Amino acid sequence: MNRRINFIGASLITLCAMLAMPAMAQQPKPQYGGELVLTGQLDKTMFPGRNTDAQGMDVYLNSCETLVELTAEREIRPLLAESWSASADRKTMTFKLRQGVKFHDGTAFNAEAVAAVFNEALAKKFLYVSLLEGLQKVVADNEFQVSFQMSAPSAALLPNLAYRTMCIFSPTAYKAKGEEGLGSNIVGTGPFVQTEYTKGVSVLFKRNDKYWQKGKPYLDSIRILFVPDATTRLAMLESGDVDRVAGVPSFEVPRLTKEKTISLRTISSLQQHYVVINNQAKPLDDPKLRQALNYATDKAGIIKSVFAGTGATLSRAPTLSPGVFGFADMREPGKDTIFPFDLARARSMLKEAGYEDRNGDGFVEDAQGKVLSLKLYGRKAGVGDYEIAQLMKTFLEKLGIKIELVVLESATFSAALSVGPKDAKYDLAILSWTVPTADPDEPMMYMTHTKAWKPAGANRMFFSNPETDRLAELAHVESDPVKRAAVVRLWMAELLKLAPVIYLPTLNLTDATRSYVYGGVYLPANVYDGTSAWIDQTERKRQGINR
């Protein structure tokens, strides 16, 4: 009898708890204290001007803040700048700065500090200066107002300033320690103060008690362990040695989903894979042929076999992914992606371009009987690059094109794809492009514009089209968002007609966190903002983790 009463009582308590849980889950109250242990990778310096990699930003963003920030919802919001305005001729952008903010070394954050950082970036050619094209100088108008003076209007300036690498470090610390000093001890205004750093091992950030956002951060500290091996990273998460792991391999997702102590989160990244087509190499100068290559590529097959169905999504627009300014769905009605897989259509386009299998050997030949043979460059690096290269060979050989797959080591590959059209040996190459500022200016002006042909820019296709160039230049200066978005859309439509590359899926990012961690923001640039992160200490103890 007693047992039955106990059982009923327990069931009622459980039921009540279950009913209460959704409400509690929606409004968890942040707790102060605890150390959050993350995994990361930092092969280069921590100095923002010399490390623009996502891995680097993921580390120094804890200490170093930008004037404006790009949120997870892809909105530009104030951070160290409270507001901004443009001059009538749109050549000057003025920022009103937050007052009462101090760098971790005790010096004041003010207009002079901002001007000093950006003027130094221009003078010393920090790695991000290409994003500040047209910026002549930065002037401190008064203590809390700073002006960016441009040679021509640039709609991309604001989103570019949200790029985490353009954070404001302490000019005093910079003068005293130089790039090398800040490279191992970054001094900014951020929520955490860097206190320890052991190269190749770990970095420790402690709570900034004087942080300008009152009440934040919640954590006592963030420790980042540098763990290069993905399997080890996951094992450390599962054993409770660390609290969060980014870049979870797609094939591990189904297994980890079943783990109750681990929360998985998948977000769409700003990175899209693509196959470079050397537009200057005959017969790839023919848009018909390039379109045929696009239609012959089974993008869904790539997602299924390389990304386990979850690690990537079908692209809906050329180059731009959702969240990038001006992104629009450019798919044909009823189709699941741009250039949907259609081998018959690809064959017919290839025929229109003058190629068909004339002797029945399975390969297409031109009118003179010459087999269409292309050289595809790939590397064993990145997320799935090598696997995609192998699949591309299969897809294109099904179309009847002979493919020679050249797999190179990373540095050699990089060198082979950093040359001008005369020296380029590749017909096709597997790469990916990222739009970390979520603004289309970089892909328009720097990745596809005629002036951006390698080695000057990042146009490795040697693609050139007067109309896309014109539209890119128009979008570069247009400040009206509606008009600018319309121009971007026209630009994308042109790209679909001209198919300068083979468009592949957009990468997803998955991070795995112990279920007692709340509040941390996973940003599309593949960085983690721990300003609002907190730990449920009771749950952590319950899971047997007593670090």
Partner 1 sequence: MLRMCANRLVFMVVAGLLLLTFLFGLFHVIPGDPARLIAGDSAPEELVASIRNAYGLDLPLGVQYVAYMGKVLTGDFGVSNFSRQPVLSIVGPRLLNTAALAAWAMLFAMVVSLILGSISAMYWSGPLDKSVSIVSLIGICTPIFVTGIVAIYFFGVYLRWLPIGGMTTWRHYIMPVLILGFAQAAGFTRMVRACMIEALGRDFIVTARAKGVPQHTIVFKHALRNALLPIMTFFGLGLGSMLGGAAVAESIFNWPGLGRLMVDSILTRDLPLTQGCIFFFAMIFVLVNLVVDLLYRWVDPRLSHD
Query: Which residues of this protein are in contact with partner 1, per CB under 8 A?
Result: 43-45, 47, 50, 52-53, 125, 127, 129-130, 179-180, 183-184, 198-202, 225-229, 231-232, 235-236, 238-241, 409-412, 414-418, 431, 433, 446-447, 454-458, 544
Our CB check for partner 1 shows the closer of 157 and 372 to be: 157
3-state secondary structure of 233: helix
* Bridge partner list, 202: 198, 225
Buried b (16+ CB within 10 A) or exposed e, 456-490: ebbbbbbbbbeebbebbbbbbebeeeeebbbbbbb
CB of 284 to partner 1, least distance (A): 21
CB of 125 to partner 1, least distance (A): 5
Q: Is 136 exposed, middle or buried (0-12, 13-18, 19+ CB in 10 A)?
A: middle
Tokens 């979850």 correspond to what residue? 310
Our CB check for partner 1 shows the closer of 439 and 478 to be: 439
Our CB check for partner 1 shows the closer of 370 and 541 to be: 541
Our CB check for partner 1 shows the closer of 38 and 111 to be: 38
Instruction: Collect all residues with Cβ–Cβ distance below 8 Å to 66 and sequence separation of at least 6.
Output: 79, 80, 161, 162, 163, 164, 166, 167, 168
Instruction: Collect all residues with Cβ–Cβ distance below 8 Å to 79 and sequence separation of at least 6.
Output: 65, 66, 67, 68, 69
On the CB side of 499, CA atoms within 13 Å amount to 23
Our CB check for partner 1 shows the closer of 225 and 485 to be: 225
Our CB check for partner 1 shows the closer of 47 and 518 to be: 47
Our CB check for partner 1 shows the closer of 293 and 408 to be: 408
CB of 178 to partner 1, least distance (A): 9
CB of 149 to partner 1, least distance (A): 21
In angstroms, what CA-CA distances link 271 with 321, 433, 481? 7, 6, 23
CB of 201 to partner 1, least distance (A): 5
CB of 338 to partner 1, least distance (A): 23
* Bridge partner list, 377: 406, 429
Tokens 């992160």 correspond to what residue? 533
CB of 189 to partner 1, least distance (A): 24
Q: 296: phi > 0 → left, psi -120 to 50 → alpha, else beta; which?
A: alpha
Instruction: For the beta carbon of residue 338, count every other beta carbon within 10 angstroms.
Output: 21
Our CB check for partner 1 shows the closer of 327 and 433 to be: 433
CB of 95 to partner 1, least distance (A): 26
